[in-house]
Structure 1
Amino acid sequence: MARIKPERRTRTDLIVTALIAVIVIAAGVVVWWTSSARRTESVTAAEPAPIQLPAENVPRGVTVKWSARSDVTTVPQITRGSVVTGVDGTVTARRPADGSALWSYRRDLPLCATAAAWSGGDDDVLAVYRNARGCSEVTSLRAADGVRHAARTSDADPTVHLSADTGYALLYGPTRLETWGSNLVRGIEYGRVSAPVNPDVAPDRTGCRLYSAVSGADRVAIIERCDGDAGYRLTVLSSNLTSEEKIRQWGSTLITTSATGPAPRVVAATDSTITVYDGGGDPSGTVGAPTGPRIRLFTPQAESRSEHPVAGDAQAPERSDPIVDQGVVSFWTGRATVVLDASNGTPLFQVADAIGPGAVMSGQLLVPMPGAISVRRAYDGHDEFRIPVDRGQVVGPVSLRVLGESIIEQRGTEVVALG
């Protein structure tokens, strides 16, 4: 058998091979240069954060332990072992004892929002960043050590509000809304959808502006106003799609007869009741209903159930968000803190002259007051005693949470730990 001569590489072959190698390397450099990884700085914890055990007693006196800036939060964000702050593109988990960084995550993009999520389960921290598509880049970080374990991106508004209940995270802006599970898989998208795959997925309303939204009990309650609406609308949706891949609408009703005044604010959603704060700027159309500021209760089908007068401003303060904690919901109306039963949304009592919502510590409700924290019985609001607090020039709003032995206050764009 004749021997086959080996192929010889010509000079042209070598040049072509070299060019291909250069192109591949250049493409890799371009991908790295434009990737999010190059613009990300992640410092994870050497050891997981220890879980903070509940306090056995409420202190009679406190001093400032530490403070830190947090521009993108309105309520202290707490995990099982840390306090989360967000500013200048950086999310930081801080040790409650001294405020030192347990871990941090930074991107070279504007930070839109951050929130602690699923502290009873996965215990994550969500960070939302803005790019050319709005506040659309979402990263999920393990609260214990800051390790990134999930991410998603989609269309979003340039300004958003982020929150999480026990089942779903909720992100909404003026024109669109999304929910995600703990794996960041989307439940629903509602409102402005640029290229709907199936136009029959959502309810048949157009041009809707979203004013507030709250998730709870696998439901999302929304205050909105759509094309053709004379007043403000309460819409209740499921947090996830049906088996037919459609949004389930529990109910949708106009709850005011005009929209000349500020929009009402959704406060809480349970499987039996939707709770709304209405400042009384527009008539409700319900015969014999109270006028002025009030808490309004609706069924999940958005049918009016009852109304309860409260002290409050015509428009709830922009930075006022409800706090759900150990069976109660507290919401600041601008003139008082209203406390609700978390199981059914029913108002229990209100604390006049409070400066923000509070939280439960050792079975008692702590409510921020001018120059103090009021310690009250959580079931009837009886004022047990007051803890003096020097907040300097800060007059409100102040939102309060509790982590272990520490009392955490959000004062404007500053988070302050007391103990």
Structure 2
Amino acid sequence: MPERRTRTDLLISALIVVVVLVAGVVIWWFSPVRHTTLDQSGRLVPAAGTARTVPAALVPLWQAPSSATRVPALSRALVITGDDGAVVARDPATGKQVWRYYRNRRVCSVLAAWRDSHDTVLAVYGNSRGCSEVTALQGETGARTGARTSDADKSVELAGGSNYVLAQGRTRLETWGSNLVRGIEYGRIEAPVKPDAQPQRTGCDISSAVLGGDRLALIEHCDDDHGYRLTVLGVNQDDDEKVRQFGSTVITRGTADGPPPAVVAMSSSAIAVYDGGANPPEPDAAGVSDAAAPRRASVRQFNSDGVQQRTNTVNGPRALPEANASISGDGLTTFWTGRATVVLDASSMRPAFQVPGTLGPGQTMAGQLLLPIASGISVRDPATMKEIRTIRYARDGYNAERDGMIALRVLGNRVVEQWGSTVAVYGPPT
């Protein structure tokens, strides 16, 4: 005998169907997928070759906004910008869009990583958990290749390495491999799976961090510290799933009221820390301290375990400019103190030269170092740092007092600069 359904049964069934449909519409309406667009292009721009000579002249080609980068983000062939929720890959010759990825969220940071292998663009977006939503995009086409989410600070800086990238905020940091699997998390952890998985320090404020080989170095100040601390960690966990700590030492004495030192660069064997002299240094390994001497800005070099090796004075203020980053290539690393560009040996991290009157860090092209100056570019011999010539051009919209540092990178025979939230490209006249 067939089951008989009452009118109430039918009404309840209809109500369930309506609720399911409404729930589905609500989920779709608020889902990230609905508010995400990816415009891909079938046009492939050839990878930029290595320039054989530095052009005799350079002219402005185009500009674009990029508030999510601090230095130009360059894939093998394209210039990547991030602004107003959109990550755009642009033809370096024209600035025209090759591909575009958009979400209706704030784009916190953008990085072009692993150019020689995976050629990946990483885009970090903000939500209620901070800058926690990460999307990996293929550098040539913009195709999505991965995603991850985790707890994060409200602002983060991305830095690239050979095998990992670093995402650093003020209270925590993470490393990710090319598959976006997390190597370590360090600092503030809301719900630790293993409470003893990382060093037991609390209330730590992380002011700077860099990658070098299979390690990272950071400057932090924790609750029980009487000064600023240099900590060296492994980029991934040990066999017991714990954070590997290779060294952690307080490197300034007294209080931490003054501007902190800044770790500016790291190789597989050495660490460079800019110390503006706001706080007296701790004694070195031999027990010698120059705390009574006049404190000048310096680059302090540490080995990969965080043990101090030597110090070289440089021309700089008590604190580096807020917008700052180092740029490496062809055995040199450059960073800007606000008064001069310091050129480090990329292996030993020892300052080889400092060039006054510059506006930021630079990079080599055809065996010559290009540094930004007020009138354009200073072209220098990397072996002697003598100026070979200058390339003059105007920077439309640049204001030194407002924009500060100019970060200069090279893509083929073109120069890509960033100041403030502006990316500008220059190339040989046609």
Task: Indicate the residue corresponding to 1:139 in structure 2.
Answer: 135
The residue identity in structure 1 corresponding to 2:259 is: P
Task: Indicate the residue corresponding to 1:397 in structure 2.
Answer: 405
Task: Indicate the residue corresponding to 1:203 in structure 2.
Answer: 199
1:38 is aligned, of 13, 21, 34, to 34
The residue identity in structure 2 corresponding to 1:135 is: C
1:120–1:166 contact (8 Å) kept in structure 2: no
Distance 2:342 2:13 in 1: 73
Task: Indicate the residue corresponding to 1:222 in structure 2.
Answer: 218
Instruction: Please state whether the residue corresponding to 2:82 is helix, strand or coil.
Output: strand
Q: What does 1:350-361 align with in structure 2 at a 5 Å threshold? A: 350-361=354-365
The residue identity in structure 2 corresponding to 1:267 is: V
How much does 1:31 deviate? 2.1
Distance 2:376 2:98 in 1: 30
Confirm whether residue 158 of structure 1 aligns to residue 154 of structure 2.
Answer: yes
Q: What does 1:5-404 align with in structure 2 at a 5 Å threshold? A: 7=2, 10=5, 15=11, 17-258=13-254, 259-286=256-283, 287=288, 289=290, 291-392=295-396, 393-395=398-400, 396-404=404-412
2:250–2:282 contact (8 Å) kept in structure 1: no
1:348–1:380 contact (8 Å) kept in structure 2: no
User: CA-to-partner distance for each residue in 1:326-385, whole Å, 9 max, x for gaps?
Assistant: 221110011111111212212221111111000111111111112121111223322111
User: CA-to-partner distance for each residue in 1:190-221, whole Å, 9 max, x for gaps?
Assistant: 00000111110000111100000001201110
User: CA-to-partner distance for each residue in 1:13-50, whole Å, 9 max, x for gaps?
Assistant: 65555444433333322221121101112111223332
Judged with a 3 Å threshold, the aligned counterparts in structure 2 of structure 1 residues 8 and 260 are, in CA distance, closer, same or farther, namely: closer
Distance 2:390 2:82 in 1: 30
Instruction: Please state whether the residue corresponding to 1:22 is helix, strand or coil.
Output: helix
Task: Indicate the residue corresponding to 2:418 in structure 1.
Answer: 410
Distance 1:22 1:121 in 2: 50
Identity %: 48
Instruction: Note the residue ranges of structure 1 that are not aligned, 5 or more in a row.
Output: none
Instruction: Please state whether the residue corresponding to 2:26 is helix, strand or coil.
Output: helix
Distance 1:48 1:26 in 2: 42
Instruction: Please state whether the residue corresponding to 2:244 is helix, strand or coil.
Output: strand
2:253–2:279 contact (8 Å) kept in structure 1: yes
Q: Which moved further from structure 2: 282-291 or 374-383?
A: 282-291
Instruction: Please state whether the residue corresponding to 1:27 is helix, strand or coil.
Output: helix
The residue identity in structure 2 corresponding to 1:324 is: S
Q: Under a length normalisation based on structure 2, what TM-score does the superposition of the two structures give? A: 0.93
The residue identity in structure 2 corresponding to 1:40 is: T
How much does 1:288 deviate? 5.4
Distance 1:311 1:118 in 2: 33
User: CA-to-partner distance for each residue in 1:230-254, whole Å, 9 max, x for gaps?
Assistant: 1100000000011100000000001
Instruction: Please state whether the residue corresponding to 2:20 is helix, strand or coil.
Output: helix
Distance 1:364 1:14 in 2: 81
Distance 1:288 1:249 in 2: 26
1:348–1:379 contact (8 Å) kept in structure 2: no
User: CA-to-partner distance for each residue in 1:245-286, whole Å, 9 max, x for gaps?
Assistant: 000000000111132321111111222111111111111133
Judged with a 3 Å threshold, the aligned counterparts in structure 2 of structure 1 residues 169 and 272 are, in CA distance, closer, same or farther, namely: same
Distance 1:275 1:373 in 2: 26
Distance 2:192 2:259 in 1: 31
User: CA-to-partner distance for each residue in 1:115-167, whole Å, 9 max, x for gaps?
Assistant: 11111111111111111111111111111111111111111111111111111
The residue identity in structure 2 corresponding to 1:232 is: Y
Q: Under a length normalisation based on structure 1, what TM-score does the superposition of the two structures give? A: 0.95
Distance 2:328 2:237 in 1: 25
How big is the alpha-carbon RMSD for the aligned residues of Structure 1 and Structure 2?
Answer: 1.6
User: CA-to-partner distance for each residue in 1:159-183, whole Å, 9 max, x for gaps?
Assistant: 1111111111111111111110111
2:228–2:250 contact (8 Å) kept in structure 1: yes
Instruction: Please state whether the residue corresponding to 2:415 is helix, strand or coil.
Output: strand
The residue identity in structure 1 corresponding to 2:281 is: S
Instruction: Note the residue ranges of structure 2 that are not aligned, 5 or more in a row.
Output: none
The residue identity in structure 1 corresponding to 2:235 is: S
1:49–1:145 contact (8 Å) kept in structure 2: no
1:233–1:253 contact (8 Å) kept in structure 2: yes
Distance 2:44 2:376 in 1: 34
Instruction: Please state whether the residue corresponding to 1:24 is helix, strand or coil.
Output: helix
The residue identity in structure 2 corresponding to 1:208 is: C
The residue identity in structure 1 corresponding to 2:399 is: V
1:69–1:415 contact (8 Å) kept in structure 2: yes
The residue identity in structure 2 corresponding to 1:83 is: V
1:272–1:300 contact (8 Å) kept in structure 2: yes
